[in-house]
Homo-oligomer: A and B are copies of this chain.
Amino acid sequence: MTSRGVRHDSMRARNLAVVLAAIHRSGPHTRAALAERTGLTKTTVSSLVADLLEAGAVTEGGAVRGGERGRPGVAVRLSGRRVAALGLEVNIDYLAACVVDLTRTVRLRRTVRADNRNSDPALVLTGLRDLVKETVAQAEAEGLRIAGGALAVPGTVEDGVLRNAPHLGWRDVRVADLVELPFAVDNEANLAALGELWFGCRDADFLYVSGEIGIGAGLVVAGEVFRGTFGLAGELGHVVVAGDGPACRCGGRGCLEVYAGQDALLGALPSVSELVDRLKAGDRQAMETCERAGRALGVALTSAVHLLDPGRIVLGGIYEPLFPWVAGPVAEVLEARLAPMRGAPPSVVVSRIGGDAAVLGAAGLVIQQVIAEPGRMLGL
């Protein structure tokens, strides 16, 4: 737990990361601009950039912005040619994979339908492994080198072990050693939040609300996902809306999920798209259901804002198609409850990437790691 001292090699590694992060954060820069931003000398930056060029993480050339007088600089930008990340997702009715390059361009995207409810983990993971093999082969055929992978799962994760995924019916499944690559596993909502950070709103501070059968949330503060002590933070679905409300499957009463989970929203309807159809047709009962769910979500988010202090609120999952009918009540409740004490409540916006958030976020996590530790991830 004690942090390690800085040696010459870790100093170099850190400086590589600092330069790469500066390029990533604010677009292409000349070496001179990078030197100014990082506080390193031009000489040092040149040397670091040379390493990054060789690793294929950056390219030279392209628009040289700004230069008023004097010799124009050479822009150094992230390269999409070589380094790429593998994002994976196991969910209730599908497996998904994607490959994203360092410029955040989605290069490959595959989904395999499968009924994974109460499934055998070994079987599903074999299927996933096949999907990975195909995807990686295809990516390599395009000249990409996969620097690492990450997997999103609908459940709680501790140290690479899937502790509990109620809807899959999995418990204590070891998934970290799925492939021979640097590999991470994390909760769907956390990764969906990262997806929003990398491919959606790109804001550095927000709470992503993932409406599925359960309701999860991922908080991003200063570009980092907040995970809590055991990685269990963000369980919005069981935040209490009414202390003595109806019983919830979690054992509590009056949890948000009871009012605004998928089951509560759909009632007897077969699917979310059916609900949306009815809403579009102006079905009174459907609209009241959404109104009620939205208000409950507003109450739960009031508590979440007081405790987590998010910059804004992004609604995703099933709340994305339902946004037009849910967002109003949510915002009204937040305004009424938060404005007097806090001033303007966080704005409520819709997710821009919908159902792809988690897979993309998984790839985003890997890209984040590459930028944070280029030395380790790229073998420098």
Q: Is A304 an interface residue (CB 8 A)?
A: yes
> Top 3 A-B pairs ranked by shortest CB distance?
A228-B309, A251-B340, A252-B337
Q: Is A306 an interface residue (CB 8 A)?
A: yes
Given contacts A226-B226, A238-B303, 16 further A-B contacts (CB under 8 A): A5-B18, A5-B19, A6-B6, A229-B309, A230-B309, A232-B309, A233-B308, A234-B307, A238-B337, A239-B306, A240-B299, A242-B244, A250-B337, A253-B337, A300-B303, A303-B303
Q: Which of A7, A245, A304, A341 has the most CB of B within 10 A?
A: A341
12 chain-A/chain-B pairs, Cβ below 8 angstroms:
A2-B37, A4-B39, A5-B15, A5-B18, A5-B38, A6-B18, A233-B309, A234-B309, A236-B307, A240-B303, A240-B337, A251-B337
Q: Is A339 an interface residue (CB 8 A)?
A: yes
Q: Is A14 an interface residue (CB 8 A)?
A: yes
**Residues in A17-31 with C-beta less than 8 Å from chain B:** 18-19, 21-22, 25-26
Q: Is A221 an interface residue (CB 8 A)?
A: yes
Q: Per-position contact with B for A340-353: 1 when CB-CB < 8 Å, else 0?
A: 11100000000000
CB < 8 Å: which of B2, B230, B337 contacts A26? B2
Q: Is A235 an interface residue (CB 8 A)?
A: yes
Q: Is A80 an interface residue (CB 8 A)?
A: no
- Write out the residue numbers on chain B whose beta carbons fall within 8 Å of the beta carbon of A226: 226
* Inter-subunit contact B252/A302 (CB<8 Å): yes
- With an 8 Å Cβ cutoff, the count of chain A residues facing the other chain is 69
- Write out the residue numbers on chain B whose beta carbons fall within 8 Å of the beta carbon of A182: none
CB < 8 Å: which of B4, B231, B308 contacts A307? B308
Min CB distance A71 to B, Å, is 23
**Residues in A89-135 with C-beta less than 8 Å from chain B:** none
Known: A221-B228, A304-B307, A307-B233. A44 touches B5 (CB 8 A): yes
CA–CA, A229 and B18, complex, Å: 23
- Write out the residue numbers on chain B whose beta carbons fall within 8 Å of the beta carbon of A234: 307, 309
* Inter-subunit contact B40/A7 (CB<8 Å): yes
Min CB distance A170 to B, Å, is 15
Q: Is A141 an interface residue (CB 8 A)?
A: no
- Write out the residue numbers on chain B whose beta carbons fall within 8 Å of the beta carbon of A250: 337, 340-341
Q: Is A173 an interface residue (CB 8 A)?
A: no
Q: Is A310 an interface residue (CB 8 A)?
A: yes
Q: Is A3 an interface residue (CB 8 A)?
A: yes
CA–CA, A222 and B234, complex, Å: 17
* Inter-subunit contact A229/B221 (CB<8 Å): yes
CB < 8 Å: which of B2, B227, B244 contacts A309? B227
Q: Per-position contact with B for A66-104: 1 when CB-CB < 8 Å, else 0?
A: 000000000000000000000000000000000000000
CB < 8 Å: which of B6, B18, B296 contacts A3? B18
CA–CA, A309 and B217, complex, Å: 13
CA–CA, A38 and B243, complex, Å: 49
* Inter-subunit contact A18/B44 (CB<8 Å): no
CA–CA, A252 and B301, complex, Å: 13
Q: Is A373 an interface residue (CB 8 A)?
A: no
Q: Per-position contact with B for A194-230: 1 when CB-CB < 8 Å, else 0?
A: 0000000000010000000000010001100011111
- Write out the residue numbers on chain B whose beta carbons fall within 8 Å of the beta carbon of A227: 309
Known: A242-B243, A250-B337, A251-B337. A229 touches B310 (CB 8 A): yes
CA–CA, A339 and B236, complex, Å: 17
CB < 8 Å: which of B25, B26, B241, B251 contacts A243? B241
CA–CA, A90 and B40, complex, Å: 42
CA–CA, A26 and B14, complex, Å: 27
Q: Is A1 an interface residue (CB 8 A)?
A: yes
